[in-house]
């Protein structure tokens, strides 16, 4: 299980009670993490820093003010890195 990329696994036969307890433990550990990501206003993109709140894309050598639409699209892409999105 661990070699396949899992951080936990159970062998068969398993107790339904143990499965539920493991799920509850994972939910307790991860509760609120998604909310933090949705409220995030700043992102690091290699040498660039994107500040959604101020609509700024910064590089060590220059800064650019984005339009609201550009900032919304860039924020959406930052929040879903390595995912294919539809229009």
Residue 70 maps to a domain: yes
8 A C-beta contact, residue 58 and residue 49: yes
Domain count, the chain: 1
Q: Write out pLDDT tens, residues 43-81.
A: 998 899 999 999 999 999 999 999 999 999 999 888 888
Residue 84 maps to a domain: no
Residue 59 maps to a domain: yes
Q: Write out pLDDT tens, residues 3-36.
A: 888 778 888 998 888 988 888 888 777 665 555 5
Residue 19 maps to a domain: no
* Strand pairing report for 42-45 and 56-59: unpaired
Residue 86 maps to a domain: no
Residue 23 maps to a domain: no
Q: Which domain holds residue 63?
A: 41-79
Residue 49 maps to a domain: yes
Radius of gyration of the chain (CA): 20
């Amino acid at each position: 299980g661990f070699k396949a990329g899992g951080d936990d696994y159970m062998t068969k036969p398993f107790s339904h009670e143990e499965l539920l307890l493991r799920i509850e433990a994972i939910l307790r550990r991860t509760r609120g993490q998604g909310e933090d990501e949705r409220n995030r206003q700043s992102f690091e993109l290699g040498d660039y820093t994107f500040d959604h709140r101020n609509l700024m894309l910064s590089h060590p050598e220059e800064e650019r003010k984005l339009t609201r639409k550009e900032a919304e699209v860039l924020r959406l892409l930052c929040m879903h890195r390595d995912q294919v999105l539809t229009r």
